[in-house]
């Protein structure tokens, strides 16, 4: 257990259980998230007995940064955990601010055929504090604030639902990292029960769906989760989500050469999502040496984009990052694990 594992509400409960006042949580959060201390001995306004309790029960523990790869407008970070497992985070510098893509699990069980993370099975879920400290360590490295957070790194966030929600509450907390809820995005490959649960939370956080195919046969061939939660059911749940939250959904679509990048796929995709309050984020594929899929050429990417545009679909092509580094999700971890 680490201090970063607790939301402010949970920390208030902790102090009440130990015969203290709830306001103590605000004091601790100020030292941890505003002053960014790494040692409780730096605290000056809390009695020694309480400090000793915190040292014993809620130590200040962060993930360990062991490698950074840097390219234009992007840094990729490799972290080591207490159990010697490894995770990644990616910093992307945009004109609107600094965005970080964090990991939610060690490995991933979704098994998407084109994903380096899915090639290496899930070892365990991350604690919320291990996710929080990814943000803190990157901010420490770049010496400036992160304004946007995306849960799209190693792991399926909704397969680690409770810890992800705690993470969101901490980084969104005005006394935590104070990152606006509309600057936070959770990506899922389509775990329907958790989308339903997520829609019932009043968080105002963005939802992204890793779609990557416009029909069941193709999607099942590259994303095994589609066999459990087929497109018909997924789209039905997304429409319920929109009705309940009135928040736009993002559909992520990695373009794979001669697999899902054809004109027919573009037309099918437009028909699938027409009338839905959404936009499509087309993602040029980052090739890896371990997976046989290839990146679509720019001519076909633009053709795909144009077809969607003509169908009045809101669509963007993701800015490319990391051409000179281990850009694919899970690639840096994989290199470390085989050393």
Given the residues 12, 69, 88, 130, the one annotated as active site: 88
pLDDT at 289: 77
The closest of 297, 234, 288 to 261, measured between CA atoms, is 297
Checking if the pLDDT of 200 tops 90, the result is yes
CATH (domain of 44): 1.10.150.530
pLDDT at residue 163 is higher than 90: yes
Q: Is 187 helix (H, G, I), strand (E, B) or coil?
A: strand
- Is the model's pTM score more than 0.85? yes
User: If you average pLDDT over residues 12-35, what whole number do you get?
Assistant: 98
What pLDDT, on a 0 to 100 scale, did the predictor assign at position 322? 58
Say yes or no: 40 and 24 in one domain. Answer: yes
Angle at 129 between CA 124 and CA 132, to 5 degrees: 110
* 198 & 309 share domain: yes
CATH of the domain at 137: 3.20.20.70
What is the model's pLDDT at position 153? 87
The phi and psi torsions of 14 (rounded to 5 degrees) equal -60, -45
The residues facing 186 across adjacent strands are: 151, 207
Domain tally, the chain: 2
Confidence (pLDDT) at 331? 52
- Domain range for 23: 3-57
- Return the pLDDT at 339: 47
Q: Are residues 96 and 26 in the same domain?
A: no
Q: Which of 115, 265, 278, 329 is catalytic?
A: 329
What whole-number distance in Å separates Cα of residue 171 and Cα of residue 28?
15
- 74: β partners: 71, 92
The answer to whether residue 88 is catalytic is yes
| Confidence band for 330, pLDDT divided at 50, 70 and 90 | very low
Specify whether 329 is catalytic: yes
Q: What's the pLDDT score for residue 329?
A: 52
Q: What is the mean pLDDT of residues 216-231?
A: 98
């Amino acid at each position: 257990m680490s201090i970063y594992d607790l939301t402010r509400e949970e920390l208030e409960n902790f102090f009440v259980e130990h015969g203290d006042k709830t306001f103590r949580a605000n004091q601790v959060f100020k030292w941890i998230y505003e002053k960014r201390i790494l040692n409780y001995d730096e605290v000056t306004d809390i009695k020694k007995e309480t400090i000793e309790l915190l040292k014993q029960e809620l130590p200040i523990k962060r993930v360990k940064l062991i490698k950074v790869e840097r390219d234009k407008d992007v840094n990729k970070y490799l972290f080591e955990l207490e159990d010697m497992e490894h995770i990644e985070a990616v910093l992307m510098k945009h004109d609107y601010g600094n965005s970080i893509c964090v990991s939610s699990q060690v490995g991933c069980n979704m098994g998407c055929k084109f994903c380096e993370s899915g090639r290496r099975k899930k070892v365990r879920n991350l604690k919320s504090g291990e996710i929080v400290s990814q943000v803190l360590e990157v901010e420490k490295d770049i010496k400036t604030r992160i304004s946007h957070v995306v849960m799209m790194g190693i792991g399926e966030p909704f397969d680690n639902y409770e810890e992800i929600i705690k993470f969101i509450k901490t980084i969104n907390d005005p006394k935590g990292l104070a990152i606006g809820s509309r600057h936070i995005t959770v990506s899922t490959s389509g775990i329907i029960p958790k989308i339903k649960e997520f829609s019932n939370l009043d968080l105002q956080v963005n939802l992204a769906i890793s779609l990557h195919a416009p029909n069941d046969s193709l999607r099942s061939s590259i994303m095994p989760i589609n066999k459990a939660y087929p497109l018909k059911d997924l789209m039905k749940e997304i429409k319920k989500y929109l009705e309940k939250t009135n928040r736009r959904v993002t559909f992520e679509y990695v373009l794979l050469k001669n697999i899902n990048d054809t004109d027919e796929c573009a037309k099918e995709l437009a028909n699938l999502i027409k009338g839905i309050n959404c936009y499509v984020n087309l993602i040029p594929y980052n090739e890896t040496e371990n997976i046989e899929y290839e990146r679509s050429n720019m001519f076909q990417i633009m053709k795909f984009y144009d077809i969607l545009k003509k169908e009045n679909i809101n669509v963007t092509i993701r800015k490319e990052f990391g051409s000179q580094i281990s850009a694919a999700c899970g690639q840096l971890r994989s290199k470390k694990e085989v050393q």
